[in-house]
């Protein structure tokens, strides 16, 4: 395994300040007092970057931030030694809240939407990307596009990365994903529900094969705590995740993306990487 020398460029265009509120019991329609509150970094791309750092990699998080919440987010990224390049936008970086109830494995998410981008925000983002050295870089792209971004935003990034000889791991559904496939992402990481919603029908393997025909080099389908499936042009594998007692499942899929990105950066073959 070669050492990690190139940055892993993590695209997370809708980061947030994540508040985790813990309760002994949550009662709808009543006053609920949290017994513990944790404030941290959130958003799919930011989660991926944090996991890359914890795995010994050198992430660079690319995204949009604004206001006092954006400044707080950058201070927390600095504290965790996660590198970043941000485009500053009007309005506040969003706050998202996770409600955790003692003894209950399910969590409740209260999610703010990011304020819409202005017409020139995405142009500034593409100028930032064009300034990066993407040769041999691994570029995880995670999450939904912010309002105001062009629907082919991910395709634009995939094209830049592909032309420079980098590799994209994309975790996003819908039309932005479909438009990006012609630029041959090395892995599409997607859950089963999003895959079928994106490709149509109810046949997971058929949907994977169609995605390969459109340009994806491989597809990894996650299904929460159930087995996952990996499909490329030559094989189909079923993967069994370890059984754990989950405290808070938020970010677990992003950790999978980070693990794949680090493995690709260090030259690990696909099966041990998975």
Average pLDDT over every residue of 209-234: 94
The Cα–Cα gap between 169 and 189 comes to 7
| 20 touches 248 (CB < 8 A) | yes
Q: Decide if pLDDT at 4 tops 60.
A: no
Report yes or no on 2 lying in a domain.
no
pLDDT value at position 72? 98
Q: CATH number for the domain including 191?
A: 3.40.1190.20
Question: Long-range contact list for 26-32, CB < 8 A, 24+ apart?
Answer: 26/99, 26/101, 26/108
Pairing of strands 187-191, 218-222: parallel
pLDDT of residue 1: 53
pLDDT digits (tens, 9 = 90+) for 138-173: 999 998 899 999 999 999 999 999 999 999 999 999
Residue-range definition of the domain harbouring residue 194: 8-14+43-88+116-273
Upper half-sphere CA count for residue 51 (Cβ side, 13 Å): 23
**Residue 225 — very low, low, confident or very high, per pLDDT cuts 50/70/90?**
confident
253 part of a folded domain: yes
Whether residue 58 is contained in a domain is answered as yes
Nearest residue to 12 via CA among 39, 48, 36: 48
In a domain, 152, yes or no: yes
Cα 32 to chain center, whole Å?
Answer: 31
Residue range 67-94: mean pLDDT, rounded? 96
The predicted pLDDT at position 107 comes to: 86
Residues paired with residue 175 on neighbouring β-strands, in sequence order? none
User: Which pTM does this prediction carry?
Assistant: 0.91
Catalytic residues: 254
| Average pLDDT taken over every residue of the chain | 93
Q: Residue 98: which pLDDT band, with cuts at 50, 70 and 90?
A: very high
pLDDT at position 9 is 97
Q: From residue 112, give the alpha-carbon distance in Å to each of 14, 18, 171, 209.
A: 10, 10, 20, 35
Q: Is 45 helix (H, G, I), strand (E, B) or coil?
A: helix
Q: How many domains does the chain have?
A: 1
Q: How many residues does the structure list for the chain?
A: 274
**Helix then strand then coil, % of the chain, to nearest 5:** 35, 25, 40
- Nearby residues of 272 by Cβ (< 8 Å), 6 or more positions away: 263
Please give the pLDDT value at position 144. 86
Pairing of strands 187-191, 167-171: parallel
Residue 28 lies in a domain: no
C-alpha angle 52-54-57 in degrees, rounded to nearest 5:
45
Domain membership of residue 82 (yes or no) is yes
**Least confidently predicted of 43-47, 76-80, 100-104:** 100-104
Q: How far is CA 237 from the centre of its chain?
A: 23
- Across the range 227-245, mean pLDDT stands at 92
- In this prediction, residue 70 has a pLDDT band, given cuts at 50, 70 and 90, of very high
pLDDT band at residue 134 under the 50/70/90 scheme? very high
For residue range 174-217, list pLDDT tens digits in order: 999 999 999 999 999 999 999 999 999 899 999 999 999 999 99
Mean local confidence (pLDDT), 27-35? 95
């Amino acid at each position: 395994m070669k050492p990690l020398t190139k940055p892993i460029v993590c695209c997370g265009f809708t980061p947030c300040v994540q508040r985790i509120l813990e309760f002994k019991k949550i009662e709808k329609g009543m006053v609920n007092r949290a017994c513990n509150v944790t404030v941290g970094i959130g958003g799919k791309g930011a989660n991926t970057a944090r996991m890359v750092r914890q795995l010994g990699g050198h992430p660079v998080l690319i995204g949009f931030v604004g206001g006092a919440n954006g400044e707080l987010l950058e201070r927390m990224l600095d504290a965790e030694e996660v590198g970043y390049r941000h485009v500053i936008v009007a309005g506040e970086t969003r706050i998202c809240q996770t409600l955790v109830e003692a003894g209950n494995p399910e969590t409740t998410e209260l999610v703010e939407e990011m304020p819409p981008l202005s017409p020139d925000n995405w142009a500034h983002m593409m100028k930032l990307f064009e300034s990066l050295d993407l040769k041999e870089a691994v570029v995880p792209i995670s999450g939904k596009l912010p309002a105001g971004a062009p629907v082919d935003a991910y395709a634009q990034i995939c094209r830049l990365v592909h032309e420079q000889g980098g590799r994209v791991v994309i975790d996003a559904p819908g039309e932005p994903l479909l438009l990006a496939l012609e630029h041959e992402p090395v892995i599409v990481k997607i859950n089963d529900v999003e895959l079928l919603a994106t490709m149509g029908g109810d046949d997971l393997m058929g949907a994977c094969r169609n995605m390969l025909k459109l340009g994806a080099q491989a597809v990894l389908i996650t299904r929460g705590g159930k087995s996952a499936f990996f499909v490329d042009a030559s094989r189909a594998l079923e993967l069994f995740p370890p059984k754990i007692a989950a405290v808070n499942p938020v970010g677990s899929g992003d950790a999978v993306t980070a693990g794949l990105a680090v493995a690709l950066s260090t030259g690990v073959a696909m099966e041990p990487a998975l």
